[in-house]
Amino acid sequence: MNLSIRPLNKLTHQHYELLLDADPSEGVINNYMQRAVSFEAVNNNELLGIVVLLPTRPETLEIVNISVTATKRNNGIGRQLLTFAENMLEKTNTLGLKSELGPLALVNFICIKNVVFE
């Protein structure tokens, strides 16, 4: 698989479906998307995943949403999105990356724990 992670320039219905999979509140999504930096994972122009980073405190980025298309899970896409987010720390001279988990984020927690915190 030739995965490419690129800036998300225009939010589509397909992006919303992924975002809603990890965060069931469209209002909350609309709120943070106005302030966030978002990236999409694509393969041959097929959307496979999304990661949304929100600058919070000085020198801190928060992963407010990360999601992978259901049929493409368990292929390392989430891990690549998290690694990409980690690399953003270096590029932006940011000191910390955090994630606050909601009730639907157990799978994301396992992935984040394995990649970021170990």
CATH number at residue 82: 3.40.630.30
Q: In this structure, what token pair is assigned to residue 12?
A: 């589509």
Domains of the chain: total: 1
Which pTM was predicted? 0.80
Dump pLDDT digits (tens) for 16-38: 999 999 888 899 999 999 999 99
Q: Label residue 97 by pLDDT band (50, 70, 90).
A: low
Average pLDDT score over the chain? 81
Q: Quick one: pLDDT at residue 58?
A: 73
Pairing relation of β-strands 46-55 and 37-43? antiparallel
CA 83 to chain CA centroid, Å, is 10
Domain limits for position 91: 4-115
Which residues have a Cβ under 8 Å from the Cβ of 106 and sit 6 or more positions away?
A: none
Q: Is the pLDDT of residue 106 over 50?
A: no
CA 40 to chain CA centroid, Å, is 8
